[in-house]
Amino acid sequence: MRLKSIVLAVLIGLVFVACGYKPGSYYAKKEIQGKVFVDLKVNIEDPKNSVLIKDAMNELLVHKLDAKLVNKKELADTIVVVRLNSTSFATLQYDTDGYSKLYKATSSINVQYNNVKQKLRRNFNVSGTYDFSIDSGGTISDSKRFEAIKAATSKALDEVISKIAILSFKKPDLED
């Protein structure tokens, strides 16, 4: 019985090793290579939350893709441009008095990256949502609004690596 367990474990291990599985970050690293500059296009309607996106994108690139960030566009091999397209709030539930009790925050973000060496240009949108409740009264405070948009944006940016990995399999849009 013990021998069967060992053989089964070895076979399962070989299947995973031999199948050629590579995580999405492997393909994303091939797209976002070299030194990276993150450029932020500030949303005039929501500048405070736009700045959050750049910080979150920097953190994502450094921690998940091991990118080396630079402070000048001229030094970069890859330029990543992020833009907060929109934020919105929708009421999900009302209390017995008709006041809004539960909201959904939605953030939509545009990400564009240009790899100068590979002459590669990609552009895509991601979105994230966050459900939250408020105290009685039905109005959203500025701090609740800020936290909700921050959480929705974070969820949207979680999709970035998988989107980049998927785009790595598509024929590139070459720059002129």
- Distance, in Å, from the CA atom of 37 to the CA atom of 58, rounded to the nearest integer, reads 9
pLDDT of residue 121: 86
Q: Estimate to the nearest angstrom the gap between the alpha carbon of 137 and the chain centroid.
A: 33
Say if 12 falls within a structural domain: no
Q: Which of 44, 171, 165, 161 is nearest to 120 (CA)?
A: 171
Say if 149 falls within a structural domain: yes
Domain residues for 170?
A: 24-174
Say if 159 falls within a structural domain: yes
Say if 9 falls within a structural domain: no
Q: Estimate to the nearest angstrom the gap between the alpha carbon of 153 and the chain centroid.
A: 8
pTM of the model: 0.77
16-22-23-29 Cα dihedral, nearest 10 degrees: 160
Strand order in the sheet with 68-69: 68-69, 35-41, 78-94, 100-115, 120-133, 173-174
Say if 14 falls within a structural domain: no
Q: What is the DSSP string of 91-121?
A: EEEE-TTS-EEEEEEEEEEEEEEEETTTTEE
**CATH for 88:** 3.30.160.150
Phi and psi at residue 106, to the nearest 5°: -125, 130
- Per run of 10 residues, the mean pLDDT along the chain (length 176 residues) is 81 70 79 88 80 86 89 90 90 82 91 83 92 75 85 90 87 56
pLDDT of residue 169: 84
pLDDT of residue 128: 93
Q: How many domains does the chain have?
A: 1
H-assigned helices in the chain: 2-18, 24-31, 47-65, 142-157, 160-167
pLDDT of residue 176: 42
pLDDT of residue 29: 84
Say if 96 falls within a structural domain: yes
Say if 16 falls within a structural domain: no
Say if 1 falls within a structural domain: no
Rounded to a whole number of angstroms, the distance between the first and last alpha carbons of the chain is 65
pLDDT of residue 111: 94
- Distance, in Å, from the CA atom of 146 to the CA atom of 148, rounded to the nearest integer, reads 6
